[in-house]
Structure 1
Amino acid sequence: MRIFISTGEVSGDLQGSMLIAAMKRQAADLQLEIVALGGERMAEAGATILGDTSGIGSMGLIESLPYILPTLRVQRRAIAFLKQNPPDLVVLIDYMGPNLGIGTYMQKHLPQVPVVYYIAPQEWVWSVGLRNTTRIVGFTDKLLAIFPEEARYFSSNGAKVSWVGHPLVDRMQNAPSREAARAKLDITPEQTAIALLPASRHQELKYLLPVIFAAAQTIQAKLPEVHFWIPLSLEIYKQPIKEAIERYGLRATVVSGQQKEVFAAADFAITKSGTVNLELALLNVPQVVVYRLNPITVWIARKILKGSIPFASPPNLVVMRPIVPEFLQEQATPENITQAVMELLLNPERRQQTLTDYQQMRQCLGEVGVCDRAAQEILQMLPNK
């Protein structure tokens, strides 16, 4: 059985690799050939990678311009493959731009092949109209939702939906204990370890890294025992991040392939908005979330598209209330970040409230076994299954 999977960016590659491993567990009696748009993690899980999309992606209108041609190229490559080698099943994971094109192609030219959307684009959060939602519902035979609100939204708009829970619930099961992680990273008991997560996209090096590092510089002056830990999302960011550490004079260590250890060991995190916010929350790490876009993008979104979002970070979106501080655009200043960090670090009541809120959020993410449930739903869509 040939399954084609399409996803992009660092988080999509992670989710895709976890799904592939689960499908292989659930279909031990089947010979699965998995061809994909993805990255190194999916390749390690056993997929044949048609195009590496882990570094192709952006957030925002102006920010997406450099990626239009690479995205179109990889989308064309995928469609050419599908035309020559019709699969038994297509799985789309997030990555809205390319996946809308691939899904529409399947609907028009290969309607007999089932299409499953796993982790749908967050139309339920920031949609400015129903056009994309209608397209997704139109070409999707089954939608596997990871958030309860996502399931409600797509179901009310006509999709056949199953809520499976969030795959990070499975991933963080294997995280080391705080003691083991701190021992592995040689973090002493008296040291305050703060994780800095400035970038998983290239644009974030420009818009987020300076403000996060400037806040870290101030925090370091206030707390002599602090040390910063920066787990790399992509190796290509290593050099610019190391140069920035020197520029800002930070006591910081950059690590590769040890993200779980850093998260488990951390006392706190200053982080971009994204999947990492949930990983930190599942490990009970208090955090401050920061995001900035090109000012032109923000102006267009506010003035022309009339768009607004309730929250940017997944922990807040899950419960639809502010359980972690968010500083977006003009509010994302070193002063605001520093103030929030110091309050959460030094005020035991605020810290305890965060941990209590995390427990409530955890109840909305489903039980362990998310990837296996998703794999079972997907495999049931195969012909003759």
Structure 2
Amino acid sequence: MLKIAMIAGEASGDMLASSLIRAIQNQYPGKVEFVGIGGKMMQDNGFKSWHKMETLSVMGYVEVIKSLPDILKVRYSVLKQLLEYKPDVFIGVDAPDFNFFIENKLKEAGIKTVHYISPTIWAWRYKRIFKIKKSTDLMLCIFPFEEEIYHKVGMAAKFIGHPMANDIELNIDTLKYRKLLNLPEDKTIITILSGSRIREVNSLAEILSQTCHKIAERIPNCLFIYPFASQHTLAIMDKYLNENKPGFEYKLVLNQTRDTIKASDMVIAKSGTVSLETALCKKPMLICYKINKFTEWMLRRMVTIDYVGQPNIIAGKEIVKEFLQEDANPDSMSEYIFELFNNQQKRKAMIDEFYKLHYTLLQDGSTEGAKAVLDLIQNKIND
């Protein structure tokens, strides 16, 4: 029997790990036992979780500090269990702060270790790679350029595709999603992705509202949709818009971000994962972001990349216009959206780049990941 241990720290990791479990079960002819820490999706696929995954699903400095005793208790408990269990391989799924500690201790004990989803060493704190190399035998990468970064320091790594590229269809039926969300078919719909964190929503609320107002003055029959992942951030924007009477038609929606993007004509997105999500949905867009001066000064000293938007980072060039800091102003952004609206050739060129991006990231990640894991422990399988 093959013994595989895994730790996933949050819902996204639970989903990725559950797919990987199924792929390993499909590829390995014998019996496999999966243990460690995981969520419902992993458990639905036969995984035995020794601790509640929710203990690790903590975000924010204050929340982490409050939960630190529980996290440390679980960390040392699961490490003891793993060392006694002696798995054939350990797979840490994201949750780098937690998993690299576990991987390091297990590798020292002679257990093969795999990490799924590389930290952004290519953006900042590159020197972490040497600690990762010491802890991990194989890195499963979701961006194509990450593989070479690890190879340069003599570490095994494999690009297995981005899970989002598999989740989003290649060709988007905009009308289908407008009907699904009960949105008008005859309006120009622009989606505003202002962020998932309270600080982001607060910092961009006024700028984005003024931008929408200027766009509405030049593009007739516009509807602006603000999707949010939490009721709290939606309430912040709702309060701001109600108090400031922005003078344009808008709608706030909850938990329908991707469908809203698919129903759009254009998108204004903050930097981060939503910019990649928008690109994979093939929607003409711009990227904006604004942070305080001190944070900007700190980041400029640490960050080693030329772009902040994931589509541009992956493409290695600017395929989406970025409006950062002082450039993230209503005049500049509204002018660019108006330019996109009136220039079909420019929109098509951007969408063509998005298709290239999608094909680059579109791999059967779980199958490729399972193959890489089983190749790593081939000697165990042969025994």
Alignment TM-score > 0.5, same fold: yes
1:319/1:55 CA distance change after superposition, 3 Å: same
Matched, 1:92 2:87: no
Q: Of the candidates 225, 228, 233, which is equivalent to residue 232 of structure 1?
A: 228
Q: Which residue of 1 aligns with 2:316?
A: 320
Q: Of the candidates 369, 373, 378, which is equivalent to residue 374 of structure 1?
A: 369
| Whole-Å separation in 2 of the counterparts to 1:216 and 1:53 | 39
Matched, 1:354 2:350: yes
Assess if the C-alpha contact under 8 Å between 2:17 and 2:93 holds in 1.
Answer: no
TM-score after normalising by structure 1: 0.82
Q: How does 1:98-137 map to 2 (within 5 A)?
A: 98-107=98-107, 111-127=109-125, 129-130=126-127, 132-137=128-133
Largest Rg, 1 or 2: 2
The structural deviation recorded for 1:234 is 3.3
Q: Which residue of 1 aligns with 2:34?
A: 32
| Whole-Å separation in 2 of the counterparts to 1:253 and 1:121 | 35
Matched, 1:293 2:291: yes
1:33/1:253 CA distance change after superposition, 3 Å: farther
**Identity %, equivalent residues:** 22
| Whole-Å separation in 2 of the counterparts to 1:311 and 1:195 | 22
Matched, 1:184 2:180: yes
RMSD: 3.2
SS of the equivalent of 1:188 reads: coil
SS of the equivalent of 2:262 reads: helix
Residue-pair matches, total: 365
Assess if the C-alpha contact under 8 Å between 1:75 and 1:101 holds in 2.
Answer: no
User: 354-363 or 70-79: which moved more?
Assistant: 70-79
User: 67-76 or 139-148: which moved more?
Assistant: 67-76
Assess if the C-alpha contact under 8 Å between 1:273 and 1:291 holds in 2.
Answer: yes
Q: Which residue of 1 aligns with 2:59?
A: 56
Q: Which residue of 2 aligns with 1:264?
A: 262
| 1:124-155 deviations in Å (ceiling 9; x for gaps) | 2334x52x111111101110112221111111
The structural deviation recorded for 1:348 is 1.1
| Whole-Å separation in 2 of the counterparts to 1:373 and 1:232 | 33
Assess if the C-alpha contact under 8 Å between 1:176 and 1:261 holds in 2.
Answer: no
TM-score after normalising by structure 2: 0.82
Matched, 1:243 2:243: no
| 1:143-202 deviations in Å (ceiling 9; x for gaps) | 011222111111111211111111111111399632211111122221111121111233
Q: Which residue of 2 aligns with 1:168?
A: 164
| Whole-Å separation in 2 of the counterparts to 1:115 and 1:281 | 33
| Whole-Å separation in 2 of the counterparts to 1:350 and 1:135 | 44
Matched, 1:81 2:77: yes
Q: Which residue of 2 aligns with 1:252?
A: 250
1:237/1:91 CA distance change after superposition, 3 Å: farther
1:293/1:246 CA distance change after superposition, 3 Å: same
Assess if the C-alpha contact under 8 Å between 2:104 and 2:135 holds in 1.
Answer: yes
Q: Of the candidates 201, 205, 211, which is equivalent to residue 201 of structure 2?
A: 205
| Whole-Å separation in 2 of the counterparts to 1:144 and 1:43 | 22
| Whole-Å separation in 1 of the counterparts to 2:187 and 2:44 | 35
| Whole-Å separation in 2 of the counterparts to 1:239 and 1:135 | 42
1:266/1:309 CA distance change after superposition, 3 Å: same
